[in-house]
């Protein structure tokens, strides 16, 4: 992974090979504001946010590029896993707060095994783990609490007890990466259940309150940069917080 | 700029084209989505940027995000000068941000000045003597508009209290406001931005000393003319045609590998066209310097907070 810092407006050099290129968040095509009839060059790619340039191998020999930024505000995207709070209920379903600019809609039937006769009955204030089914900038996002491929819950649904902490979107993305060492390191000392939402919320449930507090402090410390994401540093922090 | 020799020093020991040490910080405010602090020496501003947020129905735009910019002065309430600054910011940012990507939402930018907007010379004493001098009465305003000042006044700084206090913000305060807002948007990271505005103030000193970059409030107060410029940096931002690269200063732009476009120019005082173009050229160099400083500083900040 390269480590170049990019600022908005910076031109991004892309490999000129015949491989297909996938542009991810933070990148956009930009053409000159003066129409030049003679030149037929392709529009250049510019960065649209501050961050570190990242790339990875994608499917079918394509290459993916994106800008790894540090944002706190979530913008819904399809297939994202999110944590939301139910803020209202109406005849057909629920309105859920994801921390984005608009409330998301959760249909009353978008649960595993839900039928018109038997729908889950969720109260206002309930925390749900859901998947973004529809995200489009002109419409309210829609979320669902089951996997549409299997029809099973697959972990989605109401989350009972536990604690939610907010953190940067960037830390959430890393927590979902199986190679990121934080969760295995924490699990070695504290047993816990966790749900990571890509909207900057993390839910976890432990047996004791002090363990919950320790986890919360580790996550907040990682977010602010006080704790380095290394095994030794995290172990030391956990030991200190549990004492 | 024959008079502005490189060896000449200013009252604070700087060279004429030297910028005061810059303060560049991001992410200081916890509850805003993004925040930035920018300062030239003691003149500084703190800005926050949040968005896209839920928008009030009467402000909702169906095709693009509503951009709400507010400014809070250090003392008093935001009056006409504050409104003028907001208008400046409102002219700069809608073109730099891709507001059409976030329809029916709100993007909020708040700029808090961290430096006093009043005139620098013995402001405390003047305040003690006659607090009502801050009330903007007509005779004082008419006097303020006389430039250049009568030589008796500029020669004796003690007489400064007879002048009305500045009724508008200093150009350096306006420049730091623009730069801090840019930093706040950068830190928020959730709003796509296509180019990066950077601002600088320049003053033409009264005693024929020539142009100085980034004047202190005092220098500005004693100057003959003041300028504020903002340049936007980014690929394809330039409105100049690329075929006409042969002109002299375009070649300079190309050498730096940056495309830039003038997006804000304000000036007041007594100056000629030549001085204005000189100031414009100086501002280009200064804004480039600010950009490279920001790039270096943000690189450090991001590197220290890296997770992998």
CATH number of the domain bearing residue A94: 2.40.50.140
Q: What is the pLDDT of residue A30?
A: 79
A216 found inside a domain: yes
Contact B24, B298 (CB under 8 A): yes
Q: Give the DSSP H/E element, type plus range, for residue B109.
A: strand B106-113
Residue found under tokens 């998947």: A131
* Strands A104-111, A142-145: pairing kind: parallel
Choose among A48, A52, A225: nearest Cβ to B192.
A48
Distance from CA of A173 to the nearest CA of B (A): 11
A15 found inside a domain: yes
- CATH code at position A189: 3.30.1370.10
The domain of A231 spans 163-242
Pair A153, A173 in one domain:
no
A75 found inside a domain: no
Average pLDDT, chain A: 89
Residue B251 backbone phi and psi in degrees, to 5: -65, -35
Q: What is the pLDDT of residue B236?
A: 78
Lowest mean pLDDT among A36-45, A144-153, B179-188: A36-45
Question: How many domains in chain A?
Answer: 3
Residue B7 — pLDDT band, cuts 50, 70, 90? low
A76 found inside a domain: no
Pair A64, A85 in one domain:
no
Q: What is the pLDDT of residue A224?
A: 86
Q: Which of A144, A166, A149 is nearest to A94 (CA)?
A: A144
Pair A58, A20 in one domain:
yes
Choice between B34 and B8, residue whose per-residue pLDDT is larger: B34
Distance from CA of A43 to the nearest CA of B (A): 10
B67 found inside a domain: yes
Contact A147, A131 (CB under 8 A): yes
B141 found inside a domain: no
Taking the C-alpha atoms of residue B264 and residue A106, their distance in angstroms, rounded to an integer, is 46
Q: Residues of B numbered 120-159 whose beta carbons fall under 8 angstroms of chain A's beta carbons: which are they?
A: none
Provide mean pLDDT across the span A11-27.
Answer: 83
Q: What is the pLDDT of residue B256?
A: 47
Pair A134, A190 in one domain:
no
Q: What is the pLDDT of residue B227?
A: 94
Pair A34, A11 in one domain:
yes
Residue B289 — pLDDT band, cuts 50, 70, 90? very high
Cβ distance of A72 and B190 shorter than 8 Å: yes
B219 found inside a domain: yes
Cβ distance of A5 and B194 shorter than 8 Å: no
Q: Please give the share of chain B, as a percent, with pLDDT higher than 70.
A: 73
Residue found under tokens 């972990």: A155
Task: Note whether A52 contacts B: Cβ–Cβ < 8 A.
Answer: yes
Contact B231, B280 (CB under 8 A): no
Residue found under tokens 């801090």: B180
> What pLDDT, in 10s, does the model give residues B103-149?
999 999 999 999 887 655 444 433 344 444 444 444 444 445 555 54
**Which pair of tokens denotes residue B132?**
């009502």
Q: Residues of A numbered 119-178 whose beta carbons fall under 8 angstroms of chain B's beta carbons: which are they?
A: 137-138, 170-171, 174, 177
* Strands A104-111, A93-97: pairing kind: antiparallel
Taking the C-alpha atoms of residue A210 and residue A233, their distance in angstroms, rounded to an integer, is 19
B51 found inside a domain: yes
The domain of B237 spans 22-117+163-304
- CATH code at position B193: 3.30.230.70
Question: How many domains in chain B?
Answer: 1
* Residues 6 or more apart in contact with residue A32 via CB below 8 angstroms: B236, B242
B145 found inside a domain: no
Residue found under tokens 């910080």: B25
> What pLDDT, in 10s, does the model give residues A177-223?
999 999 999 999 999 999 999 999 999 999 999 999 999 999 999 98
Interface confidence, given as ipTM, is 0.90
Choose among A32, A75, A177: nearest Cβ to B236.
A32
- Return the number of other C-beta atoms located less than 10 Å from residue A189's C-beta: 14
Q: What is the pLDDT of residue B207?
A: 67
Choice between B244 and A102, residue whose per-residue pLDDT is larger: A102
Q: What is the pLDDT of residue B142?
A: 45
Q: Which of A5, A7, A95 is the mutation pick for testing B, counting most B CBs within 10 A?
A: A7
B130 found inside a domain: no
Residues of A in contact with B107 (CB under 8 A): none
Task: Note whether B298 contacts A: Cβ–Cβ < 8 A.
Answer: yes
Pair A236, A168 in one domain:
yes
Q: What is the pLDDT of residue B228?
A: 95
Task: Note whether B295 contacts A: Cβ–Cβ < 8 A.
Answer: yes
Task: Note whether B237 contacts A: Cβ–Cβ < 8 A.
Answer: yes
Lowest mean pLDDT among A103-117, B82-96, B111-125: B111-125
Residues of B in contact with A8 (CB under 8 A): 96, 186, 192-196, 234
Pair A111, A133 in one domain:
yes
């Amino acid at each position: 992974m390269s480590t170049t810092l990019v600022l908005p407006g910076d031109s991004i050099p892309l490999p000129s090979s015949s491989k297909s290129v996938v542009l991810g968040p933070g990148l956009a095509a930009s053409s000159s504001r003066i129409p030049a009839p003679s030149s037929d060059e392709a529009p250049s790619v510019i960065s649209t946010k501050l961050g570190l340039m990242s790339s990875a191998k994608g499917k079918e020999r394509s290459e993916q590029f994106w800008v790894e930024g540090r944002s706190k505000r979530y913008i819904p995207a399809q297939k994202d896993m999110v944590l939301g709070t139910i803020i209202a209920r109406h005849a057909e379903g629920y309105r859920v707060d994801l921390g984005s600019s608009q409330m998301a809609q959760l249909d009353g039937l978008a649960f595993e095994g839900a039928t018109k006769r038997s729908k889950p009955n969720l109260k206002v204030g309930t925390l749900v783990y859901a998947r973004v089914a529809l995200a489009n900038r002109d419409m309210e996002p829609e979320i669902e609490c089951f996997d549409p491929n299997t029809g099973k819950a697959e972990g989605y649904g109401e989350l009972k007890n536990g604690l939610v902490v907010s953190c940067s979107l960037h830390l959430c993305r890393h927590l979902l990466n199986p190679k990121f060492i934080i969760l295995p390191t924490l699990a070695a000392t504290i047993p816990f259940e966790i749900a990571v939402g890509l909207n900057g919320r993390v839910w976890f449930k432990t047996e004791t309150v002090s363990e919950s507090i320790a986890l919360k402090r580790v996550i907040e410390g990682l977010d602010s940069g006080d704790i380095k994401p290394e095994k030794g540093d995290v172990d030391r922090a956990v030991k200190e917080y549990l004492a | 700029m024959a008079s502005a020799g490189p060896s000449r020093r200013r009252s604070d020991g700087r060279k004429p084209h030297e910028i005061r040490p810059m303060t560049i910080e991001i992410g200081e405010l916890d509850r805003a989505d993004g925040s930035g602090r920018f300062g030239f020496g003691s003149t500084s501003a703190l800005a926050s940027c949040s968005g896209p947020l839920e928008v009030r129905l009467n402000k909702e735009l169906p095709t693009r995000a509503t951009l709400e910019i507010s400014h809070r002065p250090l003392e008093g309430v935001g009056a006409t000068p504050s409104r003028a600054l907001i208008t400046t910011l409102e002219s700069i940012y809608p073109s730099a941000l891709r507001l059409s990507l976030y329809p029916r939402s709100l993007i909020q930018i708040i700029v808090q000045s961290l430096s006093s907007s009043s005139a620098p010379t013995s402001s405390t004493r003047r305040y003690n003597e006659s607090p009502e001098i801050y009330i903007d009465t007509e005779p004082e305003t008419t006097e303020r508009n006389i430039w250049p000042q009568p030589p008796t006044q500029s020669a004796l700084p003690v007489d400064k209290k007879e002048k009305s206090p500045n009724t508008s913000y200093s150009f350096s305060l306006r420049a730091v406001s623009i730069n801090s807002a840019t930093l706040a948007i950068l830190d928020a990271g959730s709003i796509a931005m296509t180019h990066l505005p950077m601002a600088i103030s320049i003053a033409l000193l009264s005693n024929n000393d020539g142009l100085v970059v980034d004047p202190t409030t005092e220098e500005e107060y004693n100057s003959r003319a003041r300028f504020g410029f903002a340049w936007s940096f980014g690929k394809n931002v330039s409105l100049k045609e690329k075929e006409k690269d042969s002109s002299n200063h375009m070649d300079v732009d190309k050498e730096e590998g940056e495309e830039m476009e003038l997006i804000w120019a304000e000036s007041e005082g007594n100056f000629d066209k030549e001085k204005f173009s000189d100031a414009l050229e100086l501002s280009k160099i200064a804004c480039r310097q600010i950009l490279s400083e920001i790039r270096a500083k943000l690189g450090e900040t991001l590197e220290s907070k890296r997770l992998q």
